[in-house]
Chains A and B, each alone.
Chain A
Amino acid sequence: MSVTTAPDAPASPGPKPADTQPHRVGGGLLEPRTLLKATPDAFRKLDPRVQLKNPVMFVVEVGAALSTGSAIVKPSIFNWTIVVWLWLTVVFANLAEAVAEGRGKAQAETLRRTKRETVARRLVAWRPGQRPEERREEPVPGTQLTLGDHVIVEAGEIIPGDGDVVEGVASVDESAITGESAPVIRESGGDRSAVTGGTRVLSDQIVVQITSKPGETFIDRMIALVEGAKRQKTPNEIALNILLAALTVIFLLAVITLQPMAFYSKAPQSTVILVALLVALIPTTIGALLSAIGIAGMDRLVQRNVLAMSGRAVEAAGDVNTLLLDKTGTITIGNRQATDFLPVGGVSRPSSRMPPSSPAWPTTPPRAAPSWCSPGTPTACARALRMIRAATAATASRQGPRANCAAPSSSSSPRRPG
């Protein structure tokens, strides 16, 4: 499923500064800066070989070229106005597509950076049974790990690559990948030894033997997905392209056959006029803006804290009639979050430092600590829940209607990557 609701990159290096203000997630896709950055690409796309992928705009470009030739032979203000207008149409269409592509590139770049920034503690010449004081560590970037390397990962650190645990036991938070909010135990030997790059060790210390080659890790596949998503046209888009191509052919013929009829009627028309008529008839607007429409759909979802990896996913979401969830965590954040700390049964309020097993997700307010309660203390639990609800409601009212998107712990505002 390519709709993921994890609002941040899976391998965020360490807890984010917890005091980040909840902010409205801006679309930012059709901002002037983005447009400006995409402009050179828009001109590069004037290459007919690239244009051929979009038959409607290819016809417009050929028409623009024909009109230019015709305007050079017979210059007039009218002709040149039409020519400028036609070229602008083509460039604007390219711009929309360049922005769409730029977005995919930016996402992939964020993921790559994440990967580069993960520093692995590689063990030199590690042998099974080696005593801790005999270990020699060297820090290397996560990208340089290769098959058979051994790395040591401690509580709070990110596992730098896919591999098997060869020594130790640890609880690992795999929520970023599986959506499962409870930590899982990974230990050496047996079935539960496999760990995935990008997940976080919550307790203890393990030695991991890397089992994936560089470029084939989970994050690499994510990058490929993000980059590949753009190239996938949605089924509706393909169907629409068929319709647009058919209409273009019809109108092309209507205009081509107009000339012999016009000759017969003793009113032959100039090339510029015919091209202008053709561009007016064929579905230029929708052909040009198709990619922009896709971005707009993804943008709307981003504003609601849903990360759509492709226009295809947006469309698939539109076709959903019934949504079945195994647990609420999957569709919201995928991890537990604390909104407030409630001391129960005479325990004093702890310091603001989070215990190692506390949720990985940065929470606001910063003093937050686990507030779920264990069975066996029903009264305290009920009281705690009431307080949580009150706190949630208060936060929600402060933040306005948007807050309920990130339920149940609405006070934490997920950021989108990049």
Chain B
Amino acid sequence: MSSATAGWLQVGLLVVALAACYVPLGNYLARIFTTEKHWKVERSVFKLIGVDPTADQKWSAYVRSMLAFSFVSVLFLYGLMRLQHYLLDWVGPHMANVQPDLAWNTAASFVTNSNWQNYAGENTMTYLVQMGGLAVQNFLSAAVGIVIAFAMIRGFTRSRTDKLGNFWVDMVHCVFRLLIPLSIVGGLILAAGGAVDNFVTYHTITTLSGAHQTVVGGPFASQEVIKDMGNNGGGPFNTNSAHPYENPNSFTNWFEIFLLLLIPFATPRAFGRMVKDNRQGYALVAVMATIWAAAVAGISFFESHPMLGGVANRIQHGAMEGVEVRFGTAGCSLFAASTTVTSTGAVDCFHDSLTPFGGGIALFDIALGEIAPGGVGAGMYGILVLAIVTVFVAGLMVGRTPEYIGKKIRPAEMKYAALYFLTLPVIILTAAGLSIGTKTGQSAIYNPGPHGLTEVVYAFASMANNNGSAFGGLGTAATWYQVSGGIVMLLGRYAPEIFALGLAGSLARQQPVPASAGTLDTRTPLFVGMLIAVILVLVGLTYFPALALGPFAEGLH
């Protein structure tokens, strides 16, 4: 089978599988976040943490709960890494305590769902940290994103109230009813596909050529599934999903891509169901699918035609530098596009080695923010904010106060929406500008010229958008990048979430207006096209200077 055929086949199967899951998973998600009933295990958790499951929270209380929870998570994870040498170190290989700057960066990174990794997991983190710290955060940070998306949806479904639901109840429901059951199924499928899952320590083996090699065991399949499904991206190995223990063959590779896209693509259905108009969900998923398809097509095209731009090695099967040969450029491109649009950051080939334009598309995907389809939950509130901006821009053309799903878009809503889309460019451009403009920042750039510039911009875009993938040719273990990276990740995660919840609170207070002849129909292809245009223009113009000096300059040179 040629590389291109394999690529088409994988994409086709992926579309079929995701389409098959869209309705059932979406409906299930909607049920999780609308049910009033609690399982026995959930009730016992509520009792343990002292939460009244019937008490709804205002948006500000919801924000406080979310921030407090995340703050404690950062502290806990930081402490765990700093003390790992003394804790449970009889299981698996022994490791030294993690350095403070790395522990700070990693704690911020895993709590914010970025999973930016400035370390090699197999020789830095003990199994306790991997399983009890990092993997736990993979669940919890994903759940935080999802519950905020549903709190935002409640802003549309509720009226004349200032309550958006209860953060703790939503978290518990999300973890027990969604993430754990799906992870068990997914983990078993991955293990059956050949991914490793055990507690053994290092083995030293003698290879056929007589050399000695250290082989690592560990709980990989169980961490792998939530790493992908929660759009986290932080795997146990430095080489991430390119490592055969995490991702042994083409099937697991395809399955991991499926996991990346599963929840983000099903959330619009839950949205449509909750606002009682499934076509609203179809419109949003159409936007997401279009951008994802364009990203896949773009990266695949440039990776299989390396002659177009750049000096990557021009061999028969496309740009093979940095590509895992088991998957080829087709599997690599599909994975790269899916991981960047979903803000996952897991990789099965090295983005630094993508062709200039292919890497440029990956950077553009990340710069889109979390919208198409975005990280779990984050993509949903991201696209809702942009849908509001689009409705507003369109409303100006007909001279009416615009409305979306029966809620008017007034100055208060616009204020939150503007703050939302203002945050990420400000963070990314400031941090990247500071890094490129200073000696400290420049000294970590291993590849001079436009590629080095792309590396820096990519690094901060990835951290601020909580993606976590990286262009490897940047020495991000330097203190400047460790510290600033942690700040960027926290700001990039929580500032937009606060604004999204504020927007939801403002929407929930309104009473719905009935649709009339002057209401823009947000279920039509016209709206889908407009939303895509707003997304592309906004991002395109914001990052055009950086893209021009980075990928374009490199590719056209």
Contact = CB atoms under 8 A, between A and B. Distances in A.
Given A236-B401, A239-B411, A254-B541, 6 more contacts: A251-B542, A253-B430, A254-B546, A263-B437, A264-B436, A315-B401
A319 B419 CA distance: 26
- Of listed B430, B449, B516, B545, residue having the most chain A CB within 10 A: B545
A265 B392 contact: no
A261 B401 contact: no
Nearest to B434: A260
A156 B414 CA distance: 53
A321 B411 CA distance: 21
26 contacts: A236-B401, A239-B414, A240-B392, A242-B411, A242-B414, A242-B415, A243-B393, A246-B418, A246-B422, A249-B426, A250-B421, A250-B422, A251-B541, A255-B545, A257-B545, A257-B546, A258-B545, A260-B433, A261-B433, A261-B549, A264-B436, A265-B449, A265-B549, A267-B549, A318-B400, A321-B517
Contacts of B453: 261, 264-265
Contact of B399 (A250, A253, A281, A315): A315
Nearest to A260: B437
Contact of B409 (A239, A249, A255, A260): A239
A235 interface: yes
A314 interface: yes
Contacts of A277: 545
A245 interface: yes
Contact of B425 (A238, A253, A262): A253
Contacts of B434: 260
Interface of B: 389, 392-393, 395-396, 398-401, 409-411, 413-415, 417-419, 421-422, 425-426, 429-430, 432-434, 436-437, 442, 449-450, 452-453, 516-518, 541-546, 549, 553
B436 A236 contact: no
A245 B418 contact: yes
A350 to B, nearest CB: 49
The 7 residue pairs across chains A and B that have the minimum distance between CB atoms? A260-B437, A257-B433, A246-B418, A239-B414, A258-B545, A238-B411, A239-B411
Q: Per DSSP, are chain A's interface residues mostly helix, strand or loop, or mixed?
A: helix
Q: Per DSSP, are chain B's interface residues mostly helix, strand or loop, or mixed?
A: helix
Q: In the complex, which range does the number of interface residues on chain A fall in?
A: 20 to 34
Contacts of B389: 243
- Of listed A249, A250, A258, residue having the most chain B CB within 10 A: A250
Given A318-B400, A318-B518, A254 B414 contact: no
A242 B452 CA distance: 36
B430 A257 contact: yes
A267 to B, nearest CB: 8
A297 interface: yes
Contacts of B549: 258, 261-262, 264-265, 267
Contacts of A249: 422, 426
A235 B436 CA distance: 41
B99 to A, nearest CB: 29
A256 interface: yes
Interface in A283-319: 297, 314-315, 318-319
